[in-house]
Amino acid sequence: MTQLTTAGFHHVTLVCRDARQTIRFYRDILGLSLVKVTVNFDRTDTYHLYFGDPAGTPGTLLTFFEWPEAKRGRYGVGGIHHVALGTRDDDTLLMWKRWLTENGVRVTGPYDRGYFTSIYFTDPDGQVIEIATDGPGLQIDEPANALGRNLMIPPESRFPEGRDEAAIRAKTWTEPIDAPTEAMRLHGIHHVTGMTDDLDAAHDFYTRLLGLRLVKMSLNQDDPDTRHYFWANYDQETVAYGSDFTLFGWRDTSPRAREGAGQTHHVAWRAVDEDELHSWREYLLGFGHEVTDVRDRKYFKSFYFRTHDGLLVEIATDGPSFGIDETELGSAVQLPDWLEDRRDEIVSSLRPLI
């Protein structure tokens, strides 16, 4: 059986309670474009919002199910700890810290992670979001053609006991930020970090079933008793941007993730087109993996399955894209053809966004 390899992330879908609040945060504060306002096709009285770059390019997309009555979710084994978005460098990272702080968002960091520098905060529902610099990259402590072969131990200065937290808190951009600038533009999904209680099973899943390669073995720099492994699309020379999936190796007594507001619902990976999507489905079935049928999501087609520890995963096609039903993306509620005859009913059931 020919090994298939995904190019990287297509989107990450999260759960929110209030679509208006989510738009204010992700569009007006984080500067992402609202590229589609539609409904959850499986629950048509709630919004499904898509944010990303202005074109809605796969790999830049964060999407949200609005579940107004949802209880607070919890990260844990089989779930996602945080979603990281990319920024250019240390300067733009500090600009983000200043801008977020001035908008009432509590920010921690910047923390030097070696491979990148990061700040952390939570969205209005409690989802942990990271902004991480594009570099210097995973090759700083291993040869670029031999990543992931050895356990790399970070220096003591990166662990909690070695940090100067007062200096880190004080570090920010020196000038006020009136609005996110073009230089600050976020570059899409930098990485996604989840939690597992079985790194060996995770390695088998992500390498054998998704075709990713182990590109870094290290320690969680906030909890050095925990392993932190990275997988990505890697050709023995370059790690593809927007393909890094990382896992904290938690203990087998750790709590499991609980679905709800402020938690990731699923992680979607890319298939170029429908032919590749069907190849993926047959590939997974060939390993005896349980998968759903292919679903028509209007802007892409996809199917779903679960990882070894329960994380919901989707594989989605790059097209047909978000421009198929409007020229000004995100300007009005869009519905698939099979729901158009219910438009008045559906739209009237939604809470106003203004």
134 contacts: CB under 8 Å, gap ≥ 6: 86, 87, 88, 89, 116, 187, 190, 241
**Token pair belonging to 201:** 């099973």
- pLDDT computed for residue 302 by the predictor: 99
- pLDDT computed for residue 2 by the predictor: 87
Q: How far is it, in rounded angstroms, from Cα 314 to Cα 291?
A: 10
One-letter amino acid identity for 263?
Answer: Q
Q: How far is it, in rounded angstroms, from Cα 209 to Cα 288?
A: 11
String of b and e for 70-85 (b: at least 16 CB within 10 Å)?
A: beebebbbbbbbbbbb
- pLDDT computed for residue 254 by the predictor: 80
- pLDDT computed for residue 1 by the predictor: 74
Q: Residue 325 to residues 108, 321, 331, 350: CA-CA distances in angstroms?
A: 40, 9, 11, 20
Q: Residue 181 to residues 23, 95, 307: CA-CA distances in angstroms?
A: 19, 9, 38
**Token pair belonging to 95:** 């600009």
> What domains are defined for the chain?
9-324 (3.10.180.10)
| Whether the Cβ atoms of residue 217 and residue 236 lie closer than 8 Å to each other | no
From first to last of its 354 residues, the chain has per-residue pLDDT tens of 789 999 999 999 999 999 999 999 999 999 999 999 999 999 999 999 999 999 999 999 999 999 999 999 999 999 999 999 999 999 999 999 999 999 999 999 999 999 999 999 999 999 999 999 999 999 999 999 999 999 999 999 999 999 999 999 999 999 999 999 999 999 999 999 999 999 999 999 999 999 999 999 999 999 999 999 999 999 999 999 999 999 999 987 789 999 999 999 999 999 999 999 999 999 999 999 999 999 999 999 999 999 999 999 999 999 999 999 999 999 999 999 999 999 999 999 999 997
- pLDDT computed for residue 242 by the predictor: 98
Q: Find, among 197, 192, 193, the residue nearest to 308 by Cα.
A: 197
pTM of the model as a whole: 0.97
- pLDDT computed for residue 106 by the predictor: 99
- pLDDT computed for residue 7 by the predictor: 97
